[in-house]
């Protein structure tokens, strides 16, 4: 007797897509199945399934996986600025499920493991097999193109590494090789290229980068894994946005230093002035109890074809943040903002201009 899986998610699967497990059993007279998910502290009860006319069961892992990976919503709980690399958690998940199929007198059991990642794919997208893929847009899962603005926070993440492995990055143009970075646990891995405040790979001689295009190769235990074509821009000022992208990582991009600021305000309500004045003395018999005000920025930027691909996910991101410092090498902090705008891209043009409305947190105003 055995349980047979007829369909299941493969590879490191995107957590926000349907992940159907179809199975059946050759147990005579089976009439129901129970699926239990780990950990039991989150899923103390089993999921009860009943077969269709052909004896097949269907279970969607999507909600189970989302429940675990959404524990911190989409906040970047792995953000740090005290090191140039670190093993990180909360993005990769090894999900264990136990399937039991029952008939009137007995049952049989199957335990399965599935890998998931905090990402989402569109119908036309592919799931790449390279676990060393960078959590950003790519056409093949090996070659990646990113833009880095020196003096502002910048990092990139690797999907999954194993604990105790030595990772290095080679600058092909200069033949320089980074310090050895040893992973400390299974899961994702972050490279912190710039910590702001003048602390970056170049200034610290961790791995010097030229202004312009740097071809970087990432190695694990001396074996090539991933290409990163990193365009470095220097002497920058502007508005830095950071957002959770559809590939499960966090993208960063610096918009132009010249922007339009807009402030809108309206009275919350009015109350009587309680003043006893005659004609000629009366100014108004009501007064405002305070204003409700909001601020917004209209940002612009021009970008090349690779930067366009990075910016696409900004418009569908559930988390967008703005860096409070607008000057290079001056440390700030990230605050949550909202964006308004539409993505319009003409693929015939080398440089595309984007205009974006950023709505800042509600202003704190004086109120009665």
Question: How far is Cα 12 from Cα 18, in angstroms, rounded to an integer?
Answer: 13
Q: Considering only CA atoms, which of 345, 297, 350, 293 is closest in space to residue 324?
A: 297
- 129-141, pLDDT tens digit by residue? 999 999 999 999 9
> What number of H helices and E strands is found in the chain?
2, 25
Question: Which tokens hold the place of 80?
Answer: 């740090």
Phi, psi (degrees; rounded to nearest 5) at 114: -135, 145
Pairing type for strands 143-149 and 223-233 reads: parallel
Q: Percent of the chain, pLDDT > 70?
A: 89
Q: Percent of the chain, pLDDT > 90?
A: 76
| Domain residue spans of the chain | 3-117, 128-236, 237-368
CATH T-level topology, domain 128-236: Immunoglobulin-like (2.60.40)
Identical fold for domains 3-117 and 237-368, yes or no, is no
Q: Which CATH number is correct for 3-117, 3.20.20.140, 3.40.50.970, 3.10.180.10, 2.60.40.10?
A: 2.60.40.10
The average pLDDT across 205-231 equals: 97
What pTM, to 2 d.p., does this model score? 0.88
What was the pLDDT predicted at 347?
65
How does residue 245 score in pLDDT terms, banded at 50, 70 and 90? very high
Residue 45 has pLDDT above 70, yes or no: yes
Residue 220 has pLDDT above 60, yes or no: yes
What is the DSSP annotation of 94-134? EEEEEEEEE-SS-EEEEEEEEEEES----TT------TT-B
CATH number for region 237-368:
2.40.30
């Amino acid at each position: 007797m055995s349980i047979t899986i007829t369909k299941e998610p493969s590879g490191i699967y995107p957590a926000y897509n349907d992940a159907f497990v179809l199975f059946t059993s050759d147990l005579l007279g089976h009439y129901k199945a129970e699926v239990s998910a780990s950990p039991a502290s989150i899923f103390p009860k089993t999921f009860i399934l009943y077969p269709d006319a052909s004896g097949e069961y269907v279970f969607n892992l999507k909600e189970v996986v989302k429940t675990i990976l959404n524990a911190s919503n989409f906040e970047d709980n792995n953000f740090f600025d005290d090191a140039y690399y670190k093993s990180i958690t909360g993005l990769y998940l090894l999900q264990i499920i136990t399937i039991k199929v029952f008939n009137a007198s007995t049952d049989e059991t199957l335990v399965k493991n599935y890998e998931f990642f905090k990402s989402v794919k569109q119908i036309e997208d592919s799931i790449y097999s390279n676990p060393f893929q960078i959590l950003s847009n790519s056409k093949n899962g090996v070659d990646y193109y990113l833009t880095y603005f020196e003096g502002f926070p910048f990092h990139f993440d690797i999907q999954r590494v194993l604990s105790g492995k030595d990772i290095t990055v080679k600058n092909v143009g200069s033949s320089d090789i980074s310090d050895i970075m040893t992973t400390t646990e299974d899961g994702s891995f972050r490279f912190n290229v710039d910590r702001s405040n003048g602390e970056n790979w170049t200034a610290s001689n961790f791995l010097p980068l030229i202004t312009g295009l740097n071809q970087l190769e990432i190695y694990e235990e001396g074996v090539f894994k991933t290409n990163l074509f990193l365009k470095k821009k220097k002497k920058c000022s502007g508005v830095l946005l950071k957002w959770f992208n559809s590939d499960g990582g966090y993208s960063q991009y610096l918009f132009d230093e010249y922007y339009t600021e807009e402030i809108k305000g309206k009275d919350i309500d009015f109350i009587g002035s309680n003043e006893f004045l005659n004609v000629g003395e009366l100014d108004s018999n009501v007064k405002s109890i305070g204003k409700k005000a909001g601020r917004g920025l209209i940002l612009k930027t021009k970008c090349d074809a690779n930067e366009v691909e990075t910016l696409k996910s900004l418009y569908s991101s559930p988390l967008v943040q703005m860096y409070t410092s607008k000057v290079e090498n001056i440390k700030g902090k990230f605050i949550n903002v909202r964006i308004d705008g539409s993505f319009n891209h003409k693929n015939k043009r080398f440089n595309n201009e984007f205009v974006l409305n950023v709505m800042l947190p509600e202003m704190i105003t004086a109120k009665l």
